[in-house]
Each structure stands twice: as C-alpha cells, then as structure tokens.
Chains A and B, each alone.
Chain A
Amino acid sequence: MNEALAIRIQAYLDGELSREASEQLLADLDSNVEGRELLAALQAENALLSSVSEKEYPLPVVHGYFWKGIAEGIARETGSQGLSHHRPAVEPWKRWLSWLLPAAGAACVALVGIQQGWINGASGKMSGDGDRSKLRRAPSFHEVDSRQQNAGFISFRSESEGVSVVWISND
C-alpha cells in the first residue's frame, strides 16, 4: 500500500487533517479497498483501546489550598492591592526582630563583661624576673605626665592579683 496514503489515514484518525483534506481522503478511499480496510482496522483498534484505557479522576483538593484558592481568586478580582497591602506590614516586623534581639543580647553580654572587667581585664600575671608571656599591658588604663624629658614608663596589670602597676624608670 502507498505509504503516503497510510500516513494520511493515520492523520485522519488522529484528527490532524483539515476538513478539505479529510473529504479528499475519503474520496480517494472509495476507489482503494486496501486503504478502506486499513482505516476500518485502525478504527476498530482505537475503539478497543478506548474501552480499556484508565479513567481520569480529579484529585481531592486539600482544605488549606481550597481556601487559599478562594482568597487568591478574590485577590485577583479586586486587583493586586490585597497582597501589596500585607507585605510592607510583615517586613518591618521581621526587620525589627532580626536586629533588635541580637543587639539586645549583645548589649547585655557587653554590659556584664564590662561590669565584671572581662573586656579590659587580662588573665595573665607577671612573676619574678618578668615572664613576658604572662605580662599584659592594660589598654588605656593609665595616663602619665612627666616633667622629665626622655622619662620612660610601662603600665601593666596582673588580673590574678588585682594589681595595676605604673612602673616609672629613672632613665
């Protein structure tokens, strides 16, 4: 059988041919027995398949989505004002919460730290002939004015003994 004719028959069955092309095909099949048999066989096959194919059932709608769908439908009908009205109200809340809580926590920790002397304090102590690894300078702890030029001094703090020292050299 003509392969082009078979393709046209299949297209006809699939509903892909135009009305004129369908009429032309049926006219051609009047004089073609083999073509008519093929058309009949394919139609019978389609009928058989349609009778055993799975039926389509709609999925059940979840309760929340059901109401959400209604709300979205209302929002669509009233324009996008509904959604745009809510968003700015939510964002400031999140912004406040996101920085205020950490800031308040950090302020409390810093306050307690300053109160207990953890921030300015140092845990080391200087012993004997100068254990430099244990000696720490007390930052901005002392100010020294001297009338003598070239006069040196060091300041340090032993946190373990609770002693702040300003050592003035005679050089």
Chain B
Amino acid sequence: MNWNRLSICITRRSLSLWMMVLVVHWLTTPFAVQAADLALSTRLVWGTNREAPKGEDLKPVSPKLKSKFVNIFKWMNYYEISNKQFTFPKHAGKKTRLSPKCEIIMEIIEDDTLQVKVFGEDQLQRTVKHPLKPILKDGELFVVAGDDKDSFGDAWFLVIAHPNIDEETEEKK
C-alpha cells in the first residue's frame, strides 16, 4: 500500500470535514442577523411593590414579561411607561424618547454589537454595549435597569427585545 497516498487522502478528508463544519455554522446563523434592517422594540417599565397610583393611567406589562421579571427581580408589579417598535438600518443610529426624562440612542457598531446610549434629562448617563445576536432570539430580553431616584424602593427597566415577543406568547397559548 502506498502510505504517502493514503496520508494525502486522509488530509483531504480532514479538509472536507472542516469545510462541512463551516457550512453547518453558516447555515445555523440566524438570518435576522444577516438582514440589512433591524427591527426592535423598546419598553420603559416601572417596577414597584405598590399598586398603581390613582389617577395615573398605567398599563401593566404583558403576562409574559411579568412572569419573566417576577422570576428574576423582587418587585411584584410592573407597569409600562412606554412601548415603541421600530425598524432602522443596521448601521444607522436610532434616537428614541421613551419618557419626558428618558431618551436613548441605539446603534449597531462593529461585530454586530448593539450600543445603547441612555440619556436622563438630556444628559448622557450610560453607554451600554451588548451582542446583538442573543437579543434577536425568540423570548430573549436585554434589560438596562436601575433604582428609581424619585420613588424610593422602586426601579426602572429599559427592555430591548424582538418586536414580536408578546405575539409569540399569544400564539403559544
């Protein structure tokens, strides 16, 4: 037997195996990441253990979001201050005002990373970066949160997720 020929044959098989691995990886990459436009939803949520103040029209968050938050955080009631859905080009920034005091700028930077600039009272407070790919998965949430300065013991939550997160819940039901 020609051992040299055999070793070359095995090397070719190994290269074929690596090529196959790369193809599988490419095929399993979510198509949403490869899309040019990006669809996201942002919600500003208030978390408290108290009931909603009388006179204020506060809408409770969806049951799916509440079940997630109750399992993670200590607050029992979550109210939606604002909920916005939008589509924007991947490499163009998107500026959105979520409340009179809160404004955010979302931008996709290198390596499909989502960069969120959080403004409070028109002052840049934080810049947060997070990989985009997990956010686009079904049911995945990216949450930026903090204590509520104006209401002791309460908290605010900026929820960034796939726009259809609530619709998927209804379909499953």
Contacts and interface: CB of A to CB of B under 8 A. Distances in A.
User: Is B truly associated with A?
Assistant: yes
Interface of A: 86, 89-90, 92-93, 96-97, 100, 104, 107-108, 111, 115, 117, 125-130, 141-148, 151, 153, 158, 160-170
Given A141-B130, A148-B125, A161-B72, A170 B149 contact: yes
Given A104-B21, A141-B130, A142-B129, A166 B3 contact: no
- Binding site secondary structure of chain A: mixed
Given A111-B21, A142-B128, 4 more contacts: A96-B7, A104-B18, A164-B143, A170-B149
B134 interface: yes
B45 to A, nearest CB: 12
B6 A161 contact: no
Interface string B132-153: 0010010111111111010000
Contacts of B169: none
Contact of B72 (A90, A126, A153): A126
Interface in B1-48: 2-4, 6-7, 10-11, 14, 17-18, 21, 24-25, 28
Interface residues of B, number: 40
Contact of A161 (B4, B71, B131): B71
A89 B144 CA distance: 61
By CB atoms of chain B within 10 A, which of A104, A127, A163 has the most?
A: A163
Nearest to B15: A100
B68 interface: yes
16 contacts: A93-B10, A96-B7, A104-B18, A115-B28, A144-B126, A146-B126, A158-B68, A158-B71, A158-B72, A161-B71, A161-B141, A162-B68, A162-B141, A163-B141, A163-B143, A166-B128
B97 interface: no
Contact of A168 (B10, B28, B146): B146
B71 A96 contact: no
Interface of B: 2-4, 6-7, 10-11, 14, 17-18, 21, 24-25, 28, 68, 71-74, 123-131, 134, 137, 139-147, 149
Contacts of B25: 111, 115
B7 A143 contact: no
Given A93-B7, A125-B71, A142-B130, A162 B140 contact: yes
A90 B1 CA distance: 10
B141 A164 contact: yes
Contacts of A147: 123-125
Nearest to B117: A145
B141 A143 contact: no
Contact of B144 (A146, A148, A166): A166
B169 to A, nearest CB: 13
Contacts of A166: 128, 130, 143-145
Contact of B146 (A90, A127, A143, A169): A169
Nearest to B3: A89
Nearest to A128: B74
Contacts of A115: 25, 28
Contacts of A165: 72, 143-145
